[in-house]
Amino acid sequence: MIYNKNMKIGKKNQVITELFRVCRRKNNYIFHNDLVKNICKKVGFGNPFDVTKLDNIKKFPEILIKNNYAILHKGQGKHQFIKGIDKVFHKFEPIQKKIDWKYKKSLLNQYNSSESNILSVANNQRILHHFIFNQDREFEDIDIEKRPKTYFPHRTKTSLEYFVGKGIKLQLDSIQIEIDLTIEFQGIIGIFEGKNGRPENFSIYQLYHPFLYYFNANRKTELKGKIKNIFCVYVLREKSKGGDLLKLWAYTFKKPLDITSIVFIKSAEYKLITQSN
């Protein structure tokens, strides 16, 4: 990977740099929000809750890149520097299939560019359905009556326990996870994360924590044995002159209790071609 080491360091990265130095001096890479707040005051960064939100390697300060560390959330205000950026970040694979998707634009399709709106458009236009269940069929074959059930964005608190490769076991207590959108059809679940732009990589936990949440539910709750498969899908919306592009990547996890076991399944790009009413 190539990183821009000449980029001027901002206040957020100054905070992260000092956090890492403190943890390295103590030889304890677990830290609490209280330490984050204290360092934010010294640096003059006004949003301590944003400090540990790093969803793209390009946002990393040089000290993390040089020492090969990323940040994972442990819950209850605790975080941990984890050795091995590539263990918890993943580079998007090339697009396998490009599809022209003709549709009639509705009133609110492009009213805002929020993550939830990205997924709403993709869901309303049957793209999420098509990508997971019907991609190898013709457009006309989609059965609207058998459309998957949709569950809208929600946050939930749960405790998770998993490995980061060999030798690192994490216990996350009462951690809050966000699920942008979920669909379900005949025991198959699709979990979706939506973003704008063209990032080259993403933080795996964005897909893994919702995956593990449902995996655990399939073992321990009233859903036990009812979930057949879980697809984790990343959706990017990119603006173009010819129309919006929706790019989708589907993943799962070969070893459900190991975040590093992410497995790529398929990818596709949908070009939204507006038809007149």
**pLDDT tens digit sequence for 85-142:** 999 999 999 999 999 998 766 655 554 555 667 888 888 888 998 899 875 554 345 4
Q: In this model, does residue 147 exceed pLDDT 90?
A: no
Asked whether residue 29 falls in the same domain as residue 103, the answer is: no
**Largest Cα–Cα distance of the chain, in whole Å?**
65
- Give yes or no for a contact between 52 and 70, defined as CB atoms under 8 angstroms apart: no
What pLDDT is attached to residue 243?
A: 75
For the chain, what percent of residues have pLDDT higher than 90? Answer: 60
Q: How confident is the model at residue 22 (pLDDT cuts 50, 70, 90)?
A: very high
Over the chain, what is the mean pLDDT?
86
Residues 6+ apart with CB under 8 A from 120: none
What is the model's pLDDT at position 2? Answer: 33
- Alpha-carbon span 203 to 218, nearest angstrom: 24
- Of 30, 64, 83, which residue sits at a domain end? 83
Percentage of residues of the chain with pLDDT beyond 70 = 87
In this structure, are 15 and 143 located in the same domain? Answer: no
**Residue 181 shares a structural domain with residue 71:** no
Per-residue pLDDT at 153 exceeds 50? yes
Q: How far is CA 209 from the centre of its chain?
A: 9
Asked, for residue 2, whether it belongs to a domain, the answer is no
Which pLDDT score, from 0 to 100, does residue 244 have? 85
Q: Which two tokens stand for residue 149?
A: 């059930």
**Selected residue with higher pLDDT from 276 and 208:** 208
- Tell me the two tokens of residue 8: 């001027």
User: Domain range for residue 252?
Assistant: 91-274
Q: 128 and 263 in one domain? A: yes
Give yes or no: residues 133 and 41 share one domain.
no
Residue 179 pairs in a beta bridge with 154
Q: Which helix (DSSP H) or strand (DSSP E) does residue 157 occupy?
A: strand 154-163
Q: pLDDT category, 3, cuts 50, 70, 90?
A: very low
Predicted TM-score (pTM) of the model is 0.86
In total, how many domains does the chain have?
Answer: 2
Taking residue 233's Cβ as centre, other Cβ atoms within 10 Å add up to 25
- The whole-number pLDDT of residue 264 equals 98
Question: In 3D, which of 115, 76, 123, 98 has the Cα closest to residue 206?
Answer: 115
Which residues face 172 on adjacent strands?
Answer: 160
For residue 149, count CB atoms less than 10 angstroms from its CB and return exposed for 0-12, middle for 13-18, buried for 19 or more: exposed
Report pLDDT for 138.
40
Q: Of the residues 51, 83, 115, which one is the last residue of a structural domain?
A: 83
What integer pLDDT is reported at residue 262 of this predicted model? Answer: 98
Give the model confidence (pLDDT) of 26-84 as tens digits: 999 999 999 999 999 999 999 999 999 998 999 899 999 999 999 998 888 999 999 99
pLDDT at 7 over 80: no
4 lies in a domain? no
Distance CA 261, CA 121 (A): 31
